Chain A
Amino acid sequence: MAAQLEPLPDAELISAAQAGDADAFTALYDRYVGRVYRLISYRLGRSADAEDLTQQTFVNAWQAIGRYQPGTAPFVAWLLRIAHNASISQLRATHFSVQLNESIDPADDGDVADDLLSQERRQNVLRALKKLEGEQAQAVWMRYMEDLSYPEIAGLLGKSVENVRVITHRGLRKLRRYLEA
């Protein structure tokens, strides 16, 4: 069943899922679980928590899919926002400390020095990103990590594009201070 649904566009799968079709939602899961898991694992670290939280993100999405409005933002952006919020909640609940060495697999054939630099850089950025709050954190993350466009972020946050640019810029200013601190 899932294989038959796989080629369908998002809109049809979403519509079917909103009508209660679990298979359609599973097809959406197959399509986007990678990005959701990546976000969560990046923020939490590779652990059983990331796996559980990924599952919980999709369960939450399934329960809330009736409220998703296709015209506002891409479905993946909506999913990533749920994942983002879930990871924040998880971090707050467990005071999770990122174990970056465990969380990110370095490139298999990369140079060790580059790996260490990359890890250090990511660690600093992640630490700074985690200090951002609210819409600034989401806007910066969606733009520079998830590579969403400004209109997509605007639809996700329910803001105008110009407003999202302002929010992003303010977030970047804060992020710079955090990186230099």
Chain B
Amino acid sequence: MTPAPNDLLLTCLDDIRAGRLTLDECASQHPELRQDILALATLVGAGQDYSALEDIDDGTRARVRAGLRAAMGVNGHHPAQSARLGRELGRKPWLGAIFAWPLDRIAAVAGVATAHGGLLPAIGAGIGAALAGGAVVYAAQTAGPESALYPVRQAVHTITETLAPAEPTPPPATPTAVPTATATVVVVPTAARGEDALPRATGGSRAAGEDDSAEKRELDREHERAAGLENPPGSERRPAGIGAERSEGRAAAGEAREGNRQGPSAASSAAGTQRDGGGPFPGPATGGGSDGGRTAAATSSLSGSHDGGGAPGPSPSTSGRDGGSSPSPSASSGSHEGGSPSPIPSTSGRDGGSSPSPSASSGSHDGGSPSPIASSGSRGGSGSTTSSGSGSGSDSGH
């Protein structure tokens, strides 16, 4: 195999350096590299001159040696310790944080405090108070109600919850149930949302094992009427039967809080809101959006989903956080990021686009899961039930 020009040039230069070839011999053997060889011959010569340079003289050697020994001694450096420390710092970031403290600034502050005698006691007192407070808080972590530190524990807990970011809470491991068209209640724990393929109902915690019969709903309404608590038209009404965790002031069957301009429902059964729950379900299901959801569903169920489920389903579902309308016999809306591929066209909400579908899934933030069932109320997963009703959102109602 013919060597590449790269290798030819390097080999030629190496031969010249080693004395195996002269400059002319190499240039004549490789005329195409002649110019390169001639130009770089000076490099070879410089290298030879460099090699012939005198070694360091003894005086310089001794001076540098003494300086090196002094530097090694003064620094007190121990390379093995340094290496161990480096590895230790790699394993324990908090240790690195300690070493990363601006010690020079601390020293400067201490110097200033020392210079101004009045500051020193103040700084000492501050540090002492901080340490004492930390000790009390630490001791209160395990304080029982009978302990004198229990109020401290409660206060810390309150502060912690107040300062904690308002992240969506994980779904409770309570079973949820969604009424089916035949009033069959399916109870499935929501903890398995999104991962399982089990049919499961979407609904809030109130829905667990709750009878969703029309009689009971009617009874509830009568109670509300009697108590004067029934919501006026267009306002939210707590879904009877399967409730939602966030059902208060949220999703309602067939009605929206601020108007549900669309969404006449032939039958309305409220599927409870489930914030994160949901799962694939066979059957008509409706995800009800919490904030909106203009849906017109000939047959739809409502599940007041806030974060959306969005499992596609062959069933009408209505849900949606921010609304969206679906001109379909069943509609789903309110999906944030679209639903999931569905054998059935679905209409989903804000980001999900819309699709004319006899069934809809909605309310999905992050997409749902492929399911022949509509679902609602799931952020990542999907939940659906077979339910009927008119989907409605509570807020939008455009």
Which residues of A does B touch, CB under 8 Å?
A: 17-20, 22, 25-26, 29-30, 33-34, 37-38, 41-42, 51, 54-55, 58-59, 62-67, 104-105, 107, 118, 121-122, 124-126, 140, 144-145, 147, 165-166, 168-169, 172-173, 175-176, 179-180
Contacts and interface: CB of A to CB of B under 8 A. Distances in A.
Contacts of A172: 9-10, 13, 36, 40, 43
A169 B6 contact: yes
A176 B44 contact: no
B64 interface: yes
A122 B6 contact: no
Contacts of A41: 53
List the 3 closest pairs (A to B, CB-CB), nearest first. Answer: A66-B83, A125-B46, A37-B56
A17 B83 CA distance: 12
A101 to B, nearest CB: 14
Contacts of A118: 45, 49
Interface residues of B, number: 43
Interface string B57-79: 00011011101110111010111
Contact of B42 (A62, A125, A145): A125
Given A66-B86, A125-B46, 8 more contacts: A37-B60, A54-B56, A62-B79, A63-B82, A122-B46, A144-B17, A145-B50, A179-B40
B115 interface: no
A73 B122 CA distance: 57
B10 A37 contact: no
A122 B40 CA distance: 12
B98 interface: no
Contacts of B227: none
Interface in B15-44: 17, 36, 39-40, 42-44
B46 A121 contact: yes
Interface of B: 6-7, 9-10, 13, 17, 36, 39-40, 42-47, 49-56, 60-61, 63-65, 67-69, 71-73, 75, 77-83, 86
Contacts of A176: 36, 39-40
B64 A54 contact: yes
B40 A107 contact: no
Contacts of A42: 50, 53
Contacts of B86: 66
Given A34-B55, A37-B60, A175 B40 contact: yes
A66 B80 CA distance: 6
B79 A66 contact: yes
B64 A121 contact: no
A121 to B, nearest CB: 5
B71 A55 contact: yes
B45 A121 contact: yes
Contact of B79 (A65, A169, A173): A65
Nearest to B53: A38
Contacts of B71: 55, 59, 62
B80 to A, nearest CB: 5
Given A17-B79, A58-B68, A145-B47, A169 B55 contact: no
A105 B51 CA distance: 13
Contacts of A59: 68, 71-72, 75
A117 B44 CA distance: 14
A62 B47 CA distance: 28
Given A42-B50, A126-B46, A34 B39 contact: no
Given A169-B10, A179-B42, A180-B39, A20 B68 contact: no
A118 B75 CA distance: 42
Contacts of A34: 55-56, 61
A49 to B, nearest CB: 12
Contacts of A165: 6-7, 10
9 contacts: A20-B79, A29-B65, A33-B65, A118-B45, A118-B49, A122-B46, A144-B43, A172-B9, A172-B13
B60 A20 contact: no
Contact of B47 (A66, A144, A179): A144
B80 A20 contact: yes
B80 A168 contact: no
Nearest to B18: A147
A29 B63 CA distance: 12
Contacts of B43: 125, 140, 144, 172, 175, 179
B43 to A, nearest CB: 5
B82 A33 contact: no
Which has the most chain A C-beta neighbours within 10 Å: B46, B63, B79, B80?
B79
Contact of B49 (A58, A122, A173): A122
A104 B50 CA distance: 9
Contacts of B40: 172, 175-176, 179
A62 B39 contact: no
Given A37-B64, A58-B64, A168-B10, A63 B53 contact: no
